[in-house]
């Protein structure tokens, strides 16, 4: 028959692909980072983050650092994902308003 195409038999097969173990307690956390710090981390020169401890993170969590341009107040589109390997919390550094430090403390985050 002109204009008709023969039907082809299609067989769908469902297979199970083993998935890597994902710990439900591991979090993916997005944070802004200024360009000069983003570059140092991207080059492997900076392997830690100092942040106000107003949010929770733990060893094994993933930090998604999104480059933020403070001049334009916009994300640049660059981001890098790093695994948290160590968290140290303290209240003995004066970089943020004292009331925030008293409320949250600091956290120093080692990353790789």
What CATH number is attached to the domain comprising 72?
2.30.130.30
Q: Kindly state whether residue 71 falls inside one of the protein's structural domains.
A: yes
What's residue 60's pLDDT? 93
Q: Kindly state whether residue 13 falls inside one of the protein's structural domains.
A: no
Q: Kindly state whether residue 6 falls inside one of the protein's structural domains.
A: no
Q: Kindly state whether residue 4 falls inside one of the protein's structural domains.
A: no
- pLDDT-flagged residues of the chain (< 50): none
What's residue 35's pLDDT? 96
What's residue 40's pLDDT? 95
Q: Kindly state whether residue 8 falls inside one of the protein's structural domains.
A: no
Q: Kindly state whether residue 18 falls inside one of the protein's structural domains.
A: no
**Residue-number span of the structural domain to which 56 is assigned:** 28-111
Backbone angles phi, psi at 13, to 5 degrees: -125, 125
What's residue 79's pLDDT? 97
What's residue 3's pLDDT? 54
What distances in angstroms separate CA 8 from CA 11, 23, 62, one per listed residue?
10, 43, 47
Our count of domains for the chain comes to 1
């Amino acid at each position: 028959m002109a204009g008709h195409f023969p039907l082809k038999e299609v067989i769908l097969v469902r297979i199970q692909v083993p998935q890597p173990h994902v710990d439900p307690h591991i979090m993916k956390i997005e944070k802004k980072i200024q360009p000069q710090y983003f570059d140092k981390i991207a080059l492997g020169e900076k392997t830690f983050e100092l942040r106000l401890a107003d949010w929770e993170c733990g060893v094994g969590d993933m930090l998604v650092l999104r480059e933020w341009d403070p001049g334009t107040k916009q994300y640049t589109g660059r981001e890098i994902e790093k695994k948290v390997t160590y968290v140290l919390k303290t209240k003995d550094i004066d970089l943020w308003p004292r009331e925030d430090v008293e409320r949250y403390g600091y956290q120093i985050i080692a990353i790789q």
